[in-house]
Amino acid sequence: MMSAYPKTSALMARGAEFLGTEHAVLCGAMSWVSERNLVSAISNAGGFGVIACGAMTPDLLDTEIAATKALTAKPFGVNLITMHPALFDLIAVCARHGVSHVVLAGGIPPKGSVEAIKAFGAKVIVFAPTIALAKKLFRSGADALVIEGSEAGGHIGPVSTSVLAQEFLPALAAEHLVFVAGGIGRGEAIAGYLEMGAAGVQLGTRFACASESIAHPAFKQAFFRGNARDATASVQVDPRLPVIPVRALKNKGTEAFTAKQIEVAKRLDAGELDMAAAQLEIEHFWAGALRRAVIEGDVERGSVMAGQSVGMVTREEPVAEIFAQLLAESEAALTRR
């Protein structure tokens, strides 16, 4: 069938083939938000939905994958956090369901994890902060890479998407599949990254408040009100305790995170925790705070993780309409060239 967006589709062809989708657009996994409803809506609209496993147990992930399959016959992925203590059990759950794509997020994949995923025939998508690490991951079997700039919502690195794209795409995109994430709110930006060689793009913030998203109405309202400058990165309080910055809408929860870091640093000093346990505790804090905002609607004390593109999210729209807008904008931009 002829695409309604021929120039965009032509540039997305490699990425779409890899994902098994109509459009090479992933909705990045968002803990608590990317569950069966949003994931199936994204995949049914021709994109690639990704279940956020987050801190789920293997049993919960098992239920979520089965429930998602009941809502879509299209491909979707599962995002696993590398520091999850039951990572290999979660991989086994994905294997039992024949999940087609696994995204490994949150750190360098531990030894054997890429192999364990490939062993049941799934594709592995990874993140990498440097070109050297990206090359190493491709050599050890990764099938695709997501580069994610600091404009993104949630856990972020220090470098902007525009700079990452200029460094990584010329170096890697001819030989490898590279998806660009962070700060994408409109199709003109998608067109630009595709022209630079990206296989496709990943968006989170733009989809978080779609009609199909189960996020609490108060969470959605906070997004609709929020501007780019409200979506700030958390600050590291103690130089001995490296915490990955998190971008979220500024609120009272931001202060609670400072207090949490001081508490964990003290326990680290007292020898009550080692560094790995300290970092895990910080991550549990985020998972709890995000749940409070997304599920309970406490947008004052919870964590309203959002990227800088939040200013471009102004109302609740069905996923299919968001796709139609993004693709039309991309197509118009490419047609004007």
Ligand X SMILES: Cc1cc2nc3c(=O)[nH]c(=O)nc-3n(C[C@H](O)[C@H](O)[C@H](O)COP(=O)(O)O)c2cc1C
Could you list the residues that contact ligand X (CB under 6 A)? Answer: 28-31, 33, 52, 54, 79, 105, 148, 151-154, 181-184, 202-206, 208, 305-307, 309
DSSP symbols for 188-247: HHHHHHHHTT-SEEEESHHHHTSTT----HHHHHHHHH--GGGEEE-----TTS----EE
Residue 267 CB, nearest approach to ligand X (Å): 25
Q: Of the two residues 30 and 41, which places its CB atom closer to ligand X in the complex?
A: 30
Q: For residue 263, give every residue at least 6 positions away whose Cβ sits within 8 Å of its Cβ, in sequence order, or none.
A: none
Residue 178 CB, nearest approach to ligand X (Å): 14
In three-state form (DSSP H/G/I as H, E/B as E, the rest C), the secondary structure along 258-291 is HHHHHHHHHHHHCCCCCHHHHHHHHHHHHHHHHH
Residue 32 CB, nearest approach to ligand X (Å): 7
* Element holding 84 (H helix, E strand): none
| Distance, CA of 118 to CA of 142 (rounded, Å) | 9
Q: Of the two residues 76 and 268, which places its CB atom closer to ligand X in the complex?
A: 76
Q: Of the two residues 84 and 268, which places its CB atom closer to ligand X in the complex?
A: 84
Residue 268 CB, nearest approach to ligand X (Å): 24
Q: Of the two residues 153 and 192, which places its CB atom closer to ligand X in the complex?
A: 153
Residue 219 CB, nearest approach to ligand X (Å): 9
| Residue listed under structure tokens 């979707």 | 76
DSSP symbols for 298-335: -TTTS--B--GGGGG--S---HHHHHHHHHHHHHHHHH
Amino acid at 287: A
| Distance, CA of 193 to CA of 304 (rounded, Å) | 27
Q: Of the two residues 268 and 311, which places its CB atom closer to ligand X in the complex?
A: 311
Query: In angstroms, how far is CA 121 from the centroid of its own chain?
Result: 22
Q: Of the two residues 151 and 329, which places its CB atom closer to ligand X in the complex?
A: 151
Q: Of the two residues 172 and 306, which places its CB atom closer to ligand X in the complex?
A: 306
Residue 208 CB, nearest approach to ligand X (Å): 5
C-beta neighbour count of 325 within 10 angstroms = 14
The tokens describing 191, both together, are 């067109």
Residue 167 CB, nearest approach to ligand X (Å): 18
Residue 17 CB, nearest approach to ligand X (Å): 22
C-beta nearest to ligand X: residue: 204
Q: Of the two residues 105 and 265, which places its CB atom closer to ligand X in the complex?
A: 105
The tokens describing 85, both together, are 């203590």
Give the number of C-alpha atoms closer than 13 A to the C-alpha of residue 232, restricted to the C-beta side: 11
